[in-house]
A and B are shown apart, each in its own frame.
Chain A
Amino acid sequence: MSKRVTLPIAQIVKENETIRTFYFEHDLGAGAGQFVMLSDLETGEKPFSISECTDERFGLTIKKLGTFTQNLFSKKVGDLMTFRGPYGSSFNLIDGKALIVGGGYATPPLYFLSKELLRAGADIILVNGARQKEDLIFCERFSDMALNYKRITDAGCLGRAGSSVDIASELLAENIYDMVYVSGPELMMKAMREVLQQYPELNYEFLFERYMKCGIGICGNCTMDPLGIRLCVEGPVLARDKVEQLTEFGEYHRNAAGVKEFFKI
């Protein structure tokens, strides 16, 4: 049983105007792609992907969105938060050639992944895309790593205009990879799935997001059609054989009540 742990916030790093990384000193023992359920015991409890994890500490990179995150952003170093986890599946590490494709605010868990992959001996090319320069997070961290780092924005403020999917398509056409890892907004990932259909032999893993309530596989809120697998247990990282079968992917998700909400295209 993974017990709940209450810890003071050890460090807060401002990534941009609306994104901060909160660090806690604790040996979480998580794999890249896994998440924790974080709570202030005041305004709710939410799942967050782990953006950094060592034997000594872990980090959660969080965007200010609603009541819960607003309350979190008012906290200082030393204030207590409680969490349970780590939960869910993690990325499979390789020691060959890896292509990592990130979009927008879904990029931070790819930092944790990159660190793990480098340790495993992988050769990494990482594409980081966002709408605008300000939304490109973790740029410095990625630039400091021993990997081939490419960034791109819709507006082209960093030299080139386009999406991470554009760059990934070009790279896939010219190179052979042992594994492709993707984490981004759902519609970006859907575009990526279409690109990857042209390479039927290629292994890939996607990091998904769905509304999670219990985090431990019993409430059924985060099951994905038509497989019925629970994103909090069988996911949030899903491999190609599963991703290809998902019919709700890019189409709809279910809200906290379980009512279907369709993605706006």
Chain B
Amino acid sequence: MSTVAHDADEFVAPAEVPEMELYHPKTWLGKYVFSQDAKVIAVQYACTAIAIGLVALAMSMLMRLQLGFPGSFSFIDPSIYLQLVTMHGMIMVIYLLTALFLGGFGNYLIPLMVGARDMVFPYVNMVSFHVYFVAVLVLVASMFVPGGSTGAGWTLYPPQAILPGTPGSDLGIVLMLVSLALFIIGFTMGGLNYVVTVLQARTRGMTLMRMPLTVWGIFMATVLALLAFPALFVSAIMMILDETIGTSFFMPAIVSMGQQLEYAGGSPVLFQHLFWFFGHPEVYIVALPAFGIVSDLLAVHARKAIFGYRMMVWAIIIIGALSFVVWAHHMYVSGMNPYFGFFFATTTLIIAVPTAIKVYNWVLTLWRGNIRLTVPMLFAIGFIFTFINGGLTGLFLGNVTIDLPLSDTMFVVAHFHMVMAVSPVLVVFGAIYHWYPKVTGRMLDDTLGKFHFWVTFLGTYAIYYPMHYLGFLGVPRRYYSIEGIDFIPESAMSLNAGISIAAFIVGAVQLVFFYNMFVSYYRGREAGGNPWEATTLEWQTPDTPPKHGNFGKDLPLVYRWAYDYSVPGAELDYIPQNVPPSRVEKGESVDPDEGKPA
């Protein structure tokens, strides 16, 4: 419930927000390649991430070819299969989702939503993208070196990751680790920008508690990433040394292919601790921006304030803090002390509480809202379903006794794909349908969008629901072939074939999405400045797409939070953040540019 009026009559002259100097390039190269405009950098990040993500999608299709129809495709041998598994996971988690949410959406939305002209360190921001780009190139290069890319699984566990016999154990793994180190360096540069911009560059009136939840989600995810990525950096450096100069950080004394290697005494479990100290916060690095974005999509398209805004913010903060103390639930099978397992199972179940609060609040936002079933809204609602499903299996796996038999089965694959692959990707799609009009000035086609949604949404259920069942049967993950294993019934094979066919359909439908993006860029309906009638600042820019500097001559002044939808007594069902209370009280237009004192 919003209240409208407070000492509305007097106009108080705003204190100065210091103007930032923007670097205006003159050459094509400076405008589109080495741009210091956060919006251009965002598009660069997004295009690179989506391009490499498409490679990973194609890889998953090849994996499904092998799993669904084993032996029919002779070019997929066991090593290639393992390489596909590894690269698919690594690219999707880090190079697509992390880069897209923080580098893509973060760069585009943070300055616009908080009312800043740009990020506070535009030059560092530009370098950030280019380091990320080089990291992607190194990753791609690792697929073409002798021995190919690493096939150690995306967790890169030693000792097998650097032992002969694992694909890519020479150059492949080294390049993989170098690429990760570069990614982290690049991300740190971007992350400094996101944090400092959110804290220090907001426009007048934009208190922290008036920020849209999208910004909160991206902000907290960045804090997590800044503190968690060093763990991956440390393990990458130590593993590079183990591989190249023969140190024994992680490598125990080991006999490989009949030969005693020179390693001695190292601890593979040490790597697991370091890896998962990064790896678990990574889940929330991907999830928190998705939580934030979906909250905004729901509020805009349900024409209703997000339910429990403060609680949503607290939940984001608490999830962020707790995400650092749950990492060992990925290591129940590593032979840890049972009391450790007890501790980590408890923290894991506790973190479900703030997460559940968020889910309740999303559902309560929909309740009695004036729901517009637009394409972004469909994806947002689809996210809620998928996230609940994936989250519930997370409660299974968080318990040690249930995790032990299910660990390393297809059940785990189904769980994490539901909760941290499909769910965030549905949000990515929703967000693209939602903000594409702002980025390009044109709407995406609605019919194609709905087709894309329904096939993707139902299709992913056809893929992942049966996978839970395969997991209960004990079908192991990462196996090239499950033929000839006694306890696996014939029906599991036909189920696998069915899953593969569903996967091909879902994969193919993504082409419709890209077709839609491409054609709409030229022929889409003109969007205008605020097609969804949203309140947040990015929809109030004088130009669409916004120019460098975002807000024309004067920065907007913010009088209200981001969720003034369907306010009683207001002329329209939304009041932009930069409309003063006096204008609403008199029943005047909510166009923020009208009636502004000169």
- Asked if A and B bind, the verdict is no
Which positions in B face A, CB cutoff 8 Å?
Answer: none
A interface residues (Cβ-Cβ under 8 A, vs B): none
